[in-house]
Amino acid sequence: MSDDPIPRSQSSEFWQFMSGIKKVDPKFYLCMVNWLSSCESPGTTRQRQTHMVLYFRFFRRETFEHPSFSKTNPDILKAFFRMMKDKRRSDGRAYTSSYLKCMYSALKSFFQYAFIEGRIAENYMLKVKRPKGEDKIGYDILTDDETERFVNYFKSEIVKAKDSRPSVRRSAILQFTMVWAYLSVGMRSSELASIKLEDFLDSDFPQLRMRVKGNRIDTRPIPDSTADYIRQWIARYRRKAGPKDLVFCSIKKKDEVIPASQIKGWIAKACKKIGIKKRVTTHSLRATMLTRIYRQGANIFEVQAAAGHKETQTTFGYIRLAEMQQNSAARRYDLENFLSEKKPAEKRKRKPEVIPTTLGQ
């Protein structure tokens, strides 16, 4: 069995540090590898590697040495979190409280693992206070108008690609189908990208089976419109694929998951084209969907089930009514409307969205 069960391609800088650590403290190196191997998903592994790289950089800068158990102590860990609280990202934004708490949990988990393995006498992180601070959400959600413009952009790209070469048409249809699924089902980026053909449970009540956080299998119902688009996508581009193959895959490499950076690029390009000056991510689309169904009458427990959250408190963090309703509230409480009407206006029924009945037409 290889000493490095985790692919080095996931983080080259992480493994550059690890090669130096292996020479200084082989026990630290082996403990780190085994700890990462115990992660429940590749996403968690990558996230922990990112956290450790930040800690390794700080350790080298402060001690001029590679991290090791003999040189680690509570004081240096406290100094690390003080530095992270004031540190800025490359784009000038501060690290959010949620990110720092996640990093704290990762380091605490590692040193707890080392303690259980008998590598250290105590878990140093127990003497470090959990980071606190204002939680600034790192993404924005779309208003109703922005959602409509956003979806219409991807529809128009299909129309433009009608006479283009096949790969361009395929890409336009792929982008629209995935964006529609994000906005109508509220899935995380990795959940939708890793869906296999056998996970699309096509019936009178279509469902998607997915692997969610915590390495759990969750099955969620999906709207008929979303099921129709997925059916059309499969019929056109994935009819020869097997049950274990991906529903959505890279255009060039049919057996590879579409990178999150590529999906992020689609969203950024769409926002730039239609003039949305917000930080929109796939998580923005997820929060937009959850906020929308809450406004439409779903109670918090139904929204929690749609999001796949364990705790109701987590779900509340996704519902951003203030952002989505700021314009409609100004219209609703217009004084002139109040004085001219003896009774509140009835709630207007929203017209159904006009969507293409067949992809590519």
pTM greater than the 0.75 cutoff: no
Percent of the chain with pLDDT over 70: 82
Paired with 216 in beta bridges are: 212
Do 175 and 78 have their domain in common? no
What does pLDDT average to over the chain?
81
Do 194 and 243 have their domain in common? yes
pLDDT one-digit tens code per residue, 109-163: 999 999 998 988 899 999 998 887 555 555 788 888 999 999 999 999 999 998 8
Residue 337 lies in a domain: no
Do 314 and 171 have their domain in common? yes
- Tell me what the mean pLDDT of segment 190-201 comes to: 89
Residue 331 lies in a domain: no
Do 110 and 241 have their domain in common? no
- Tell me what the mean pLDDT of segment 48-53 comes to: 90
Do 121 and 149 have their domain in common? no
Residue 356: pLDDT over 70: no
Say what the pLDDT of residue 138 is.
59
Residue 79: pLDDT over 80: yes
Residue 357: pLDDT band with limits 50, 70, 90: very low
- Tell me what the mean pLDDT of segment 67-86 comes to: 88
Q: Which of 127, 152, 174 is the last residue of a domain?
A: 127
Dihedral sign for Cα 156, 160, 166, 168, please. negative
- Tell me what the mean pLDDT of segment 35-60 comes to: 86
Angle between helix 144-160 and helix 260-274 axes, rounded to 10 deg: 100
Torsion of CA 88, 279, 262, 145, to 10 degrees: 180
More confident residue, 321 or 184: 184
Residue 177 lies in a domain: yes
- Tell me what the mean pLDDT of segment 69-73 comes to: 87
What does 175-230 look like in DSSP terms, one character per residue? Answer: HHHHHHHHHHH---HHHHHT-BGGGEE-SSS-EEEEEETTTEEEEEE--HHHHHHH
Torsion of CA 255, 260, 265, 268, to 10 degrees: 150
Structural tokens at position 81: 């979190």
Domain CATH number, residue 229: 1.10.443.10
233: domain range?
A: 144-323
Do 152 and 241 have their domain in common? yes
Residue 338: pLDDT band with limits 50, 70, 90: very low
- Tell me what the mean pLDDT of segment 243-257 comes to: 82
Residue 1: pLDDT band with limits 50, 70, 90: very low
Residue 26 lies in a domain: yes
Mapped onto helix, strand or coil, the DSSP state of residue 338 is helix
Cα R_g (the chain), whole angstroms: 24
CA 56 – CA 217 distance, rounded (Å): 34
pLDDT one-digit tens code per residue, 83-118: 888 887 776 777 877 788 889 999 999 999 999 989
Do 259 and 180 have their domain in common? yes
Do 20 and 106 have their domain in common? yes
Say what the pLDDT of residue 359 is.
58
Residue 59, exposed/middle/buried by CB under 10 A (0-12, 13-18, 19+)?
buried
CB 56 within 8 A of CB 67: yes
CA 277 – CA 140 distance, rounded (Å): 10
Secondary structure E strands in 69-126:
none
Structural tokens at position 268: 């950024």
Q: Which of 93, 127, 161 is the last residue of a domain?
A: 127
Mapped onto helix, strand or coil, the DSSP state of residue 88 is strand
What does 158-181 look like in DSSP terms, one character per residue? Answer: HHHGGGS-HHHHHHHHHHHHHHHH
Do 92 and 151 have their domain in common? no
Residue 351 lies in a domain: no
Any idea which residue has 């997820």 for tokens? 286
More confident residue, 184 or 11: 184
What does 289-329 look like in DSSP terms, one character per residue? Answer: HHHHHHHTT--HHHHHHHHT-S-HHHHHTT--HHHHHHHHH
Do 315 and 187 have their domain in common? yes
Mean pLDDT is lowest, of 3-17, 52-66, 154-168, 186-200, for 3-17
CA 72 – CA 50 distance, rounded (Å): 19
Do 161 and 245 have their domain in common? yes
Residue 44 lies in a domain: yes
Number of domains comprising the chain: 2
Residue 137 lies in a domain: no
Residue 57: pLDDT over 80: yes
CB 222 within 8 A of CB 207: yes
Q: How distant is the alpha carbon of residue 47 from its chain centre? A: 12
Residue 86 lies in a domain: yes
pLDDT one-digit tens code per residue, 264-316: 999 999 999 999 988 898 888 988 888 888 888 888 888 888 888 888 877 88
Structural tokens at position 90: 């490359």
Do 119 and 252 have their domain in common? no
Sequence-separated (6 or more) residues with CB below 8 Å from residue 311? none
